[in-house]
Structure 1
Amino acid sequence: MGGLSETLADWLARGEAAVLVTVAETRGSTPREVGAAMLVTAHDSRGTVGGGRLEWTAVERARAMLVEGVTADRLDLPLGPAIGQCCGGHVALSLERADAATVLALAEGERRAADARPTLLLFGAGHVGKAMATAFAPLPLRLRWIDSRAGEFPEVIPPGVERIVTDRPLDHLAQAPAGAGYLVLTHSHALDFELTDAALRRGDAAYVGLIGSATKRSRFERWSAARAYDPALRDPALLSRLTCPIGAALTGDKRPEVIAALVAAELLVAFAARGS
C-alpha cells in the first residue's frame, strides 16, 4: 500500500476533492504526534490523527469544509470529558483543502521519513525468514533481506523490502550504517556464527539477534571464546549485546509467525532505545 501522497494523487486524478488533516500541536498526553495526518473526502478517509471522538470531529469538519468551499481551518481540541476522550492532553489540528502542491509536500515528507528509518539486515530466507520479512514489511524499517539462495525467496517480495542475493553477506554487514539491527537465521550454523560475531564486533548495532536455543547460544559463546586467543578479539562485554534466543518473551511456541511477532517487538524497543 502506498503512502498518503499516492492516495491523494489518485483521488485528485479522479476528480475527488479532499482535505488534509494534520496534527499541528500537542500538549500533554495525546494519541498521536505532531505531523500525523489523514486525508478525508466526502465518503472516504486514509491515515489517522488518533481515532476516537478527536478523529470523528476532524472528519466531520473536513467534510463540512468540502460542502462550504472553505479552504483552510483549525481545530483546538482538549482531550477530556467534553469530547468523550480521556487522554487529558490538547491537540491542535490543521485542515486544508488538498491540491497538487499537497501531493508534492506529502511525498517529500514521506521520503524524509523513509530515509530516517533504521536499517535492519535480515540474513536468511528460510521459513522463519519469510515470516519475519512479512511481519516487518509494514514497520518503519529499511529492511534488507539477504541470502545466497535466490530460489529461497518467495516470488512476491513484501512491499518496501530490499531482496539481496549474494554469496558475500559479510560485505553487506560491513557496509551497513551505524545503528543498524541484525537478525541472523541462515541455513548454516557456521555462517550464523560468523555474521553474529561480525555484527557484535562493529560495536554500533542497535540489535543483534541470533535464532536458536540457549544451547546454540552456549555453542556460540564457546566458539567466540576460542577465537579470542588474539588479544584484539577479546571483549568481555561482547556477548552481553547478543539476543539469543530471540523472541524470548514467550517460550515454547516455535511457530514462525509467533516468533516474528515477538522479534518485531524486540526490534522496535531496541531501535527506540537508540533514538532511531
Structure 2
Amino acid sequence: MASYGPVQPDHVSLMSRFRVMQFNMQFGQIWDEAEGDHAPIDLDLTIAEIQSHDADIIILQEVEHAQPGGVQLQPPPNYTRLKAAFRGYDSYFSYPKADPRELPFGIGLAIFSRTPLRDTFRMELPSSPVEFEFDGKKRTPTDRLLIGAKTTLDGQEVQLFNTHLLAYFMLNSSSEQHLQQRQLVVEQLRKSTGPTLIGGDFNVSNRDSLVHQFADAGYQPVQTTEVTWRYRPFVLDHIFHSPHLQSVRYTVKPTKASDHHILLAEFEFAH
C-alpha cells in the first residue's frame, strides 16, 4: 500500500470556468476488439490522448497494470511517466491495499490538477466476499479505493474525489445487493460542505440506482445516457457535482487508448 504526491506544478492559474476529464485509462492498453485483453500497451498514445483535451482537472483510474501476487511496483511506472509528461500539473496517486489475490488488470487512482493539491487522503472500500471463477480457480474480489484532494479554483476551495468500484455485475451479482462501497463513498460526499466533484468508474450497470442514491446526498451527474464502455452498453463512468457547481457542457469521446470512453465536462461556480 503506497501513495505518492503531491508534486508541485510549474505554475498556478485561477479560472472561473474549468474543464474536468474522467478517464479509466486501462494502464495504457489500447482498444483492439480482435485482441481483447491481449491488446498491446501504448502509454504514449494514452498520454497524447489526455494532453489533447487540455483539462484543468484529470481524474484517472487503472493507472497501473496489476502484477502477479499483488506486487506493487515502486515507484509506480505509469504514474511516473504521466507526471513527467504533464508538466504544470500537481498530482496525487495511490495504489489500493496490496493483495496477493489481485488479478492482472488495472489498478491505482490518480488526480492531476493545474492548481496545487492539498489535504490528500485515501480510504479503502471493502469488497463483499462474492465467489467467482477466474482462470479455472475460485476467487474472491480485492478491496477498492477512494482518494481525494482539495484545490483552489477562482478563489474557491474545491473538494475532488476519485474512485473505482467493484464490478459486481461481472461476478453475476449486483452492487444493489452489495451497497457497502457505494455507501462509504456517499458518506464522504455528505461530509463535504463546499464545491465538490467526484469522478470515477463506478461499475454500476443500473445507473438509475446510482444516480438516485447520489441525488439523495445532493449530487447530480453530468450525463446518464451516453455509453462509456465498449464491451457492454453501460454508463459506468461518471462525474457527479455538488449544487455549488453547474455543468456548462460535456462530451463523451471514444478513444483507441482504452476500452473506456473519455468523459469531459466544463463547470462554473453556481451563483
TM-score normalised by the chain length of structure 1: 0.34
Of structures 1 and 2, the one scoring higher in RCO (CA 8 A, sep 6+) is 2
Greater percentage in strand: 2
Structure showing the higher helix proportion among its residues: 1
Higher gyration radius (CA):
1
Report the TM-score, using the length of structure 2 for normalisation. 0.34
